[in-house]
Structure 1
Amino acid sequence: VDSNPATCVWFAADTPPITKPLLVLDGEGPARNIAIMSNVAPAYAPAGKALIGGACPGMLDPDAEPVVRAQLRDIWGTQVDRWIHLRTDAIPHGQPSQPPSFPPKQRTALGDGLHVCGDHRDTSSIQGALYSGRRCAETILAG
């Protein structure tokens, strides 16, 4: 399966920049989406702290923290300067390659009792992986 790199830069903050469980989208910088993970799952950060991840699809840069921090500073101001950089994950095969012509909902039954599922069979996302897995399970259960 052809793939694209992805980088995610992780920060800890004393307070979240927003309090709702939303995915923040930004088409201007390297981090195309920013998630305050602890707004969705409070156990992902110690009590009173926030876990923030900036996802950079198509980018493979273990040293991306300064440029991502600058982008987040443009969004949320100088509070970002107090955030602690936890780590940067540079993942060579972070997402399956899916050009605009890619048709989602690829078949999961390959024949001869062989089944396959994953985000490469639907949309390049967690949702795509889950949906593909469900379709695969339904196909198997249907016999």
Structure 2
Amino acid sequence: MKIASIFAVGLIGFCGAASLALAEDAHTIFAPGDIKWVEAPKVLPAGAQAAVLFGNPTKKGLFALRLKVPSGYAIPPHTHPGYEVVTILSGTAKFGMGKTADRSATKALAAGSFFALPPGTAHFVYFDDETVLQINTNGPWGIKYVNPADDPQKSQ
């Protein structure tokens, strides 16, 4: 569970500042203007913003997390310890499968697209335009880079 604990440390401040529903049975409603974006956890490449809409990604249980990434953003090949369930809300994600990033082997997923991957499935993603995506799944959420040198936390 090293991945989860590393991610948890990165998310402690993030969850405290983000819009967060503390109780699993809380009545939660967000209009787009109500969402509070903060710097994404350091486990992701710099430049992304995030907002927790429901739950807590560092703990066991359901959560909803949005990521807003700038034009030119990329996430190198990586895996997750649990299911990755994602909907593209705006922009386009260029999604690829495998342990080696290959831009020519990606599939463009426009707003409204969805994907779900089993735990441990290696994948990568590029963004040519600002894009917002939403992860709805069970925590604890984490990320493990195929190449440890790609982990942004290693360069800090």
TM-score (norm 1): 0.25
Structure with more of its chain in strand, by fraction: 2
Structure with more of its chain in helix, by fraction: 1
TM-score (norm 2): 0.24
